[in-house]
Amino acid sequence: MKLVAVIGYVVVMLGILALFNADAENNFLALAVWSAASLVIGWVMRDAWAVVLSLLALPMAVPFGYADQWLGSDAPYVWWLAMSTGAIQVIVVFAAVLGRLLYERIHSSRA
């Protein structure tokens, strides 16, 4: 189950990086999908090491190149988005892991 979740999360990140490149207007949608995927991976993994998965976005963004190829800009826009959003997603994944552990603790004490 965890391996399937990790593979799904990596596929979602690749899709989001492509969406960042394809159209700057879709960035809000991409962030919403990535945040939802981060919550799911944190909930399913129940392990603090799951936060490392969010940091994989930066090396995954490298093949997409610079923003001038996609958006006509000089800055490495895709790398910047991957780095800044990946850092935010670390917090989201960690919050989901803590939420799952708290949920399990509450429900195990009731039994």
The 10s digit of each residue's pLDDT in 1-20 is: 788 888 888 888 888 777 76
Task: Please state whether the predicted TM-score (pTM) of the whole model is above 0.75.
Answer: yes
Is the pLDDT assigned to residue 58 strictly greater than 90?
no
Domain that holds residue 62: 2-110
Over range 17-46, report the average pLDDT: 79
Distances (CA, A) of 57 to 74, 79, 80, 111: 21, 9, 10, 40
- The backbone region for 66, taken as left when phi is positive above 0, alpha when psi lies in -120 to 50, beta otherwise, is beta
Rounded mean pLDDT, 8-34: 76
Give me the number of domains the chain comprises. 1
- What are the pLDDT digits (tens) for 59-104? 776 666 655 555 555 555 667 777 788 888 899 999 999 999 999 9
